[in-house]
C-alpha cells in the first residue's frame, strides 16, 4: 500500500510539473496538436520560430507605428528624404493614384509642413488619406523588399534614442486599446482613400503558448519582416507579456547611408520570404545541432518558405486571416502537420 501511495504522489508531482497549454479559444485540433508537441519529452532542447505581425501579435507593428506617426504628426524634419527614402525610382506614375512617387512624396512633405504650422481638418484628412493611398500604391508597384525598406525609412531623421522612444509610445498606446478595428480614411475630395487597422493585441493564447513552450524546453524565436529594433521592443519588454531575450529576435537590419537615408545591411540575410529560412539556417539552427524547428508559426505568403522548408517540423501553425495564395493552400491541408487558427475580433 505504501509503495502505491508513493507511486501516486510521484505521478501527481510529475503531472504538476508538466506544462499544460490552456485551451482558451484554440480550435480543437490545433489545441491538441500544440498540446502533444509540448507534452512530448523528445522535443526538449528543440525550438520554435514565430512570425511577428498578425501571428505573434494581432496587427502589424510597423503599420501601427506609421499610423501613430500620422495621427500625431510625429515625422522627423528630413524634407530632402521625407516619404521617398528607400524607393529606387520615383518618376514613374503609380497605378491607381495618377501621380509619380516623387509628386506624392513632395506633396505629403508640403502638407506635413503646413500642418505643423497651422492645423486644418481638411488638410489633415487629405494628408492621411493620401499617405495610405501612397503606401498601397508602393506595395502594388514595387517588389516586397522595396516595401519592407520604405515603410521603416519614413522614420529617417530620428536619432536612435528618439526612434526607440517613439516605437515604445506607439506599442504602448495601441496595446492599451485592448482591441483591433478597421478605419477608412478618405480625402475630402474623394480622390484618395485607404483602410487602416488600428490597435494591437497580444492574445492570451499566444502569450500562453510562448510560455508553455519555454517551460517544456522548446525555445521560442521570432523571425520577422518588421524592423528588428521595433520587434525587440514588443517581444523583449516583459511589460508587454513575452519577455524574450534580444538574441532570440530577428528582424530587418539597416545601415545609415552617406546621404542620410537607410539601406539594408547586406551582410545579414533580411528575414522576409526566403530570407526567413536563410536567417534560421545561419543563426538559429547552429544553436540546435543544425536541426530545423519543430514548430513554425506564420500567417501570410511571406511565411510559406519557412513553413515548408523543414522536414523536422511537427506543427505548422497558420494564423488564418482569410488570405489567398500559397498560405491558403497550407491552411486548408489538414494533413496532420499543418493546423490553422482563426481569432474572432471585436
User: pLDDT tens per residue, the chain (346 residues)?
Assistant: 544 443 443 344 344 467 899 999 999 999 999 999 999 999 999 999 999 999 999 999 999 999 999 999 999 876 567 799 889 999 989 988 889 999 999 999 999 999 999 999 999 999 999 999 999 999 999 999 999 999 999 888 899 999 999 999 999 999 999 999 999 999 999 999 999 999 999 999 999 999 999 999 999 999 999 999 999 999 999 889 899 999 999 999 999 888 888 999 999 999 999 999 999 999 999 999 999 999 999 999 999 999 999 999 999 999 999 999 999 999 998 889 999 998 766 5
- The answer on 210 and 302 residing in a single domain is yes
What pLDDT, on the 0 to 100 scale, is given for residue 6? 38
3-class SS letters over the chain: CHHHHHHHHHHHHHHHHCCCCCCCCCCHHHHHHHHHHHHCHHHCCCEEEECCECCCEECCHHHHHHHHHHHHCCCCCCCCCCCCCCCCCCCCEECCCCEEHHHHHHHHHHHHHHHHHCCCHHHHHHHHHHHHHHHHHHHHHCCHHHHHHHHHHCCCCCCHHHHHHHHHHHHHHHHHCCCCEEEEEECCCCCCEEEEEECCECCHHHHHHHHHHHHCCCEEEEEEEEEHHHHHHHHHCHHHCCCCCHHHEEEECEEECCCCCEEECCCCCCCCCHHHHHHHHHHHHHHHCCCCCCEEEECCHHHHHHHHCCCCCCEEEEECCCCCCHHHHHHCCCCCCEEEECCCCC
The CA-CA-CA angle for residues 227, 148, 126, to 5°, reads 105
In a domain, residue 161? The reply is: yes
CA-based max dimension of the chain: 86
Helix (H, G, I), strand (E, B) or coil at 255: strand
- The answer on 189 and 65 residing in a single domain is yes
- Region class of 237: left (phi > 0), else alpha (psi between -120 and 50), else beta: beta
Report in angstroms the alpha-carbon separations of 342 from 82, 96, 141, 305, 306: 38, 32, 30, 21, 20
What pLDDT, on the 0 to 100 scale, is given for residue 78? 61
In a domain, residue 231? The reply is: yes
In a domain, residue 14? The reply is: no
Residues in the chain: 346
Number of domains in the chain: 2
Report in angstroms the alpha-carbon separations of 337 from 33, 51, 295: 9, 18, 10
In a domain, residue 256? The reply is: yes
In a domain, residue 7? The reply is: no
- The answer on 212 and 333 residing in a single domain is yes
- The answer on 152 and 66 residing in a single domain is yes
In a domain, residue 274? The reply is: yes
- The answer on 100 and 38 residing in a single domain is no
In a domain, residue 280? The reply is: yes
Stated pTM of the model: 0.92
Beta strands in the chain (DSSP E): 47-50, 93-94, 99-100, 181-186, 193-198, 219-227, 249-252, 254-256, 262-264, 295-298, 315-319, 338-341
- The answer on 278 and 267 residing in a single domain is yes
Residues spanned by the domain of 218: 19-58+202-341
Q: Which of 198, 224, 259 is the last residue of a domain?
A: 198
Return the sign of the alpha-carbon dihedral for residues 250, 298, 317, 313: negative
Q: Which of 198, 231, 264 is the last residue of a domain?
A: 198
- Report the alpha-carbon distance of residue 212 to residue 218 in Å, rounded: 9
- The answer on 65 and 54 residing in a single domain is no
- The answer on 181 and 228 residing in a single domain is no
CATH code of the domain containing 50: 3.40.50.1000
- The answer on 268 and 230 residing in a single domain is yes
- The answer on 155 and 94 residing in a single domain is yes
- Report the alpha-carbon distance of residue 198 to residue 64 in Å, rounded: 7
- The answer on 177 and 236 residing in a single domain is no
Dig out the grid coordinates for 250 from the structure. Answer: 530577428
What pLDDT, on the 0 to 100 scale, is given for residue 346? 52
DSSP-assigned letter for residue 118: S
- Report the alpha-carbon distance of residue 322 to residue 221 in Å, rounded: 25
What pLDDT, on the 0 to 100 scale, is given for residue 8? 42
In a domain, residue 5? The reply is: no
Contact between residue 226 and residue 234 where contact means Cβ atoms under 8 Å apart: no
Q: Which of 175, 198, 221 is the last residue of a domain?
A: 198
- The answer on 121 and 47 residing in a single domain is no
Amino acid at each position: 500500500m505504501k509503495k502505491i501511495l508513493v507511486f501516486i504522489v510521484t505521478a501527481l508531482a510529475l503531472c504538476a510539473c508538466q506544462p499544460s497549454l490552456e485551451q482558451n479559444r484554440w480550435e480543437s485540433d490545433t489545441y491538441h496538436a500544440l498540446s502533444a508537441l509540448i507534452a512530448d519529452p523528445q522535443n526538449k532542447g528543440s525550438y520554435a520560430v514565430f512570425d511577428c505581425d498578425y501571428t505573434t501579435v494581432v496587427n502589424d507593428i510597423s503599420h501601427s507605428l506609421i499610423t501613430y506617426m500620422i495621427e500625431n504628426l510625429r515625422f522627423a524634419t528630413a524634407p530632402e528624404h521625407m516619404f521617398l527614402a528607400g524607393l529606387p525610382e520615383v518618376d514613374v506614375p503609380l497605378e491607381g493614384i495618377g501621380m509619380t512617387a516623387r509628386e506624392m512624396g513632395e506633396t505629403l512633405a508640403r502638407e506635413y509642413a503646413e500642418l505643423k504650422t497651422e492645423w486644418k481638418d481638411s488638410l489633415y484628412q487629405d494628408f492621411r488619406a493620401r499617405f495610405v493611398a501612397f503606401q498601397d500604391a508602393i506595395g502594388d508597384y514595387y517588389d516586397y523588399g522595396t516595401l519592407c525598406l520604405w515603410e521603416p525609412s519614413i522614420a529617417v531623421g530620428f536619432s536612435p534614442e528618439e526612434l526607440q522612444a517613439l516605437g515604445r509610445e506607439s506599442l504602448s498606446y495601441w496595446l492599451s486599446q485592448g482591441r483591433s478595428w478597421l478605419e477608412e480614411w478618405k480625402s475630402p475630395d474623394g480622390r484618395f482613400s485607404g483602410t487602416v487597422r488600428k490597435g494591437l493585441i497580444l492574445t492570451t493564447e499566444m502569450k500562453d503558448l510562448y510560455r508553455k513552450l519555454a517551460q517544456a524546453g522548446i525555445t521560442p524565436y521570432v523571425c520577422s519582416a518588421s524592423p528588428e529594433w521595433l520587434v525587440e521592443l514588443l517581444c523583449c519588454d516583459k511589460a508587454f507579456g513575452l519577455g524574450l531575450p534580444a538574441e532570440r529576435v530577428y528582424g530587418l537590419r539597416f545601415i545609415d547611408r552617406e546621404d542620410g537615408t537607410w539601406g539594408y545591411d547586406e551582410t545579414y540575410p533580411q528575414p522576409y520570404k526566403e530570407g526567413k529560412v536563410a536567417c534560421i539556417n545561419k543563426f538559429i539552427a547552429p544553436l540546435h545541432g543544425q536541426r530545423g524547428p519543430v514548430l513554425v508559426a506564420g500567417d501570410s505568403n511571406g511565411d510559406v518558405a519557412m513553413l515548408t522548408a523543414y522536414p523536422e517540423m511537427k506543427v505548422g501553425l497558420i494564423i488564418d486571416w482569410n488570405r489567398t495564395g500559397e498560405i491558403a493552400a497550407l491552411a486548408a491541408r489538414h494533413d496532420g502537420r499543418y493546423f490553422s487558427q482563426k481569432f474572432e475580433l471585436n
